[in-house]
Every structure is written in structure tokens, then in C-alpha cells.
Amino acid sequence: MNCATGACPVPDEPKGVIKLADGAGGREMHELIKEIGARLRTSGWQGSDDDAASFCVKEGRVFFTTDSYVVTPLFFPGGNIGKLAFCGTVNDLAVKGALPIGLSLSLVIEEGLPKDEFFKIIQTIGELSKKHKIPIVTGDTKVMDKGAVDKLVICTSGVGTGELIDSKVEEGDVIVVSGGIGEHGAALLAKRFELETELETDSKVMLEEVAAIQAYARHIKDITRGGLASVLCEIAEKKGVMLEVEEEAIPAKKEVKALCGMLGIDFMNLACEGRLVAICKPDFDISALKKLNPAAAIIGKVSKGSGVVVQTRLGKKMLHMPSGNIVPRIC
């Protein structure tokens, strides 16, 4: 860290590498956990320095979610695995209508991981936690011997409270996407193929997006692995309706489409980490969502029937749940 400016808000970057003893339950592990805790916002709950934390809630609905992150590489344009983990878990709660009140952070680390890389990731989680006022309230640290895991796996779970957004989807409802799709998957692919692009992960916390549509929303889902195609197929099946989508209305950056064309991938199958699909009442007003992201768009409507139909320039086609190994270790 450059201290020439006089600003040193974070602890010194630790040196060395993670050792097996750092996960063995003894002195070294307790020291590592203290170093992790120093970088996180952990307040608000009782027992955050212990194996289980607790919090007093009013009568109401409690939400619970979990996700593991295995992305490679750990660092990529616009983010790192820590950003994915924090945002992904917050978003899983947000799209259900919950305000996250606490996250857990479980770290599975490969022996030999450089501490400076490790703590950069923890620092990212800590900054997001402070920015969004969502504390990390409990955690776990395991170290696996060299070769037994590829660098780092993060599992984040989250607890939230709120009112469930999930009602019957009706004919005439509109299908909304909160921004250009596929940027996370495309940025990862470009990095892996060492292509120089301007693309960055779309990974972000979507609490504001949900707030902008909550009054109209019947059902919201974040787009992750399997991309927009997977989410649309899932909604159509679960809700027992047909979704009619206009291909040309689907927002996607030119670079995303170009990369997909080059690699022979459908841009609708590419992962996002900061985009959602919502089924909203017909009178939905998109202006608040557009203020957050001008690319937000209504991409179609709900009809009677089943499946997902895409209107392309060449005619209609049925969209199927993607299969096979679309892009491995994308999140």
C-alpha cells in the first residue's frame, strides 16, 4: 500500500502464505480469524466472534439462503470472488423481498495461498459489508493441503427479514430485465482467453433495483449460471405460464454479443451476477429502474400456455433450458 498520501485506512497487507496450521483449531487459526474480523463489519449481532451469532427479530418472515463460489480466476475485471460471494448472497435475499440482516462467511483455503491475495478478497467483502451496512456475523475457516482445493472456495449464507414477493403471475404481466445481460460471463471468458476487452463483471448488490420495482413485482429472480435462458425457462415452468420474449428488446452490450458470436455461445446462456428478471403488473413504470441502469428494459409479456417463446427477426423459436457445460467455474 502506498502511504505517500498519508491515508492508511486498512491494516498492513499481511505477508507470507496460508499454512495448514491456520485452519487447525489452535492458536494460529484464532489469530487468522482475528485478522479476518479486523477487515469486516461484524457488529450488530450477539456472539459474532463465536460459532453461532444471534439477533432479536420482530414477529415476521425470516429468509435464509446459501451459495458457494468456485470462480476461476479469483480476480477478474471489475471484481473478485469476494465481491461475487457478498453480492450473490445479498441478491438471493433481495429478489425474494428480504432485507439482509446478516451474512455468514465460510472460507476453504488452499495451503500456500498468498496472504496478500487472500486479504484483498476479505477486504473487498469488508468494504461491501460496510457500504451496504450488512454485517458478517458468523464464519468458518478451513485450510486444505496443497492440491486438495484450487486456491479458495467461499460459501456465504444470508439471513434477512421482510415481506415475500411471490404471487400468481397473470396473463398480460410484463417481463423486465434490470440491465445488459451476460457481462459477468463475457468478462470471465475474455480474461480466460486473454482477450483485451472493456468488459467487466456486472456483479453488484441489487437492493436498489428491487426497491425500484417492488410495488409492481409478482416474482423476481436474479440471473446467475445458465443465464437469462435458464431463469426464463424456470419461471415459465414454476408459474405454469408462457413467456413471450422479443429478442431485440433484450439488452446486451455489443462486446458481449461479439464475444458470443466469436465463441459460438448464445448470449442468453451467459451468467450475470448483478442482473434480475422480474414479472411485473401490466402497469409497470420502468422509469425508476432506468435511472439505476439505462439499459433496463421490458423484454416481453406473460401469456397463457407453457414454455418460453422468443420472437427473432427470422420468426418465433422455443427457448429450452440450456444443457451441457456452458461455462465452467463462472461463479
Q: What is the smallest separation between the CB atom of 238 and its own copies, expressed in angstroms?
A: 8
Give residue 95's identity as a one-letter amino acid code: V
Q: What is the smallest separation between the CB atom of 58 and its own copies, expressed in angstroms?
A: 5
Are 221 and 235 a contacting pair, CB within 8 Å?
Answer: yes
Q: What is the smallest separation between the CB atom of 127 and its own copies, expressed in angstroms?
A: 21
Helix H or strand E encompassing 247: none
Report the distance separating Cα 115 and Cα 39, nearest Å.
13
The x, y and z cell numbers of residue 163, run together, are 415481506
Q: What is the smallest separation between the CB atom of 300 and its own copies, expressed in angstroms?
A: 21
Are 110 and 20 a contacting pair, CB within 8 Å?
Answer: no
Cα-flanking dihedrals φ and ψ of residue 52, to 5°? -145, 135
Name the residue nearer to its own copies (CB basis): 130 or 238.
238
Name the residue nearer to its own copies (CB basis): 152 or 252.
152
Name the residue nearer to its own copies (CB basis): 8 or 52.
52
Name the residue nearer to its own copies (CB basis): 69 or 119.
69
Report the distance separating Cα 129 and Cα 205, nearest Å.
11
DSSP 112: T
User: What is the bridge-based pairing of β-strands 98-110 and 152-162?
Assistant: antiparallel
Q: What is the smallest separation between the CB atom of 323 and its own copies, expressed in angstroms?
A: 4
First-to-final CA distance of the chain: 28
Name the residue nearer to its own copies (CB basis): 39 or 96.
96
Cα-flanking dihedrals φ and ψ of residue 208, to 5°? -70, -40
Q: What is the smallest separation between the CB atom of 276 and its own copies, expressed in angstroms?
A: 12
Q: What is the smallest separation between the CB atom of 15 and its own copies, expressed in angstroms?
A: 19
3 state SS of 51: coil
CA-based max dimension of the chain: 66
Report the distance separating Cα 254 and Cα 260, nearest Å.
10
Are 161 and 57 a contacting pair, CB within 8 Å?
Answer: yes
Name the residue nearer to its own copies (CB basis): 211 or 288.
211
HSE value, Cβ hemisphere, 13 Å, CA-based, for 40: 27
Name the residue nearer to its own copies (CB basis): 145 or 285.
145
